[in-house]
């Protein structure tokens, strides 16, 4: 029923389990205090994260609207090109052959004298 003296360690010293408890409590207190001091940083980080997510959603919305505009414009361009390409050959005017006019050598010499 009575504990032996050796269970309490040497005279005047705390038992080993009490020392471990005291060390653990001191470490916990030190770590918890340091953690509590950093809570404002966590709050700031969370607020910045939320702001970045809102900006990302807004940017995504703007980019999606721009993509839709580009798709619409491209569809209109393709439709315009297809309409011109699909015209039957008989509806299109044939290009006229190029006419090459030759000038007489003396006419060129005369023109050169008249226009310095």
Instruction: Kindly give the confidence (pLDDT) of every residue in the chain, 116 residues in length, as a single tens digit, with 9 standing for 90 and above.
Output: 445 545 555 555 667 799 999 999 999 999 999 999 999 999 999 999 999 999 999 999 999 999 999 999 999 999 999 888 776 666 666 667 766 766 665 555 555 555 54
106 within a domain of the structure (yes/no): no
102 within a domain of the structure (yes/no): no
100 within a domain of the structure (yes/no): no
73 within a domain of the structure (yes/no): yes
- Domain limits for position 33: 13-89
Largest CA distance in the chain: 143
CA distance 6 to 15: 9
Give the number of other Cβ atoms within 10 Å of residue 9's Cβ. Answer: 14
83 within a domain of the structure (yes/no): yes
Contact 50, 43 (CB under 8 A): no
Predicted pLDDT of residue 31:
97
Closest CA to 22 of 14, 33, 34, 31: 14
Predicted pLDDT of residue 1:
45
7 within a domain of the structure (yes/no): no
114 within a domain of the structure (yes/no): no
Query: How many domains is the chain partitioned into structurally?
Result: 1
113 within a domain of the structure (yes/no): no
């Amino acid at each position: 029923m009575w504990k032996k003296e050796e269970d309490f360690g040497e005279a005047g010293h705390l038992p080993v389990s009490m020392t471990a408890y005291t060390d653990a409590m001191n470490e916990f207190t030190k770590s918890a205090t340091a953690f509590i001091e950093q809570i404002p940083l966590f709050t700031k980080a969370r607020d910045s994260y939320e702001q970045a997510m809102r900006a990302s959603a807004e940017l995504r919305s703007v980019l999606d609207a721009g993509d839709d505009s580009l798709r619409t414009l491209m569809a209109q361009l393709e439709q315009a090109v297809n309409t011109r390409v699909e015209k039957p050959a008989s509806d299109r005017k044939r290009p006229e052959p190029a006419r090459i006019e030759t000038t007489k050598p003396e006419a060129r010499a005369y023109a050169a004298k008249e226009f310095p």
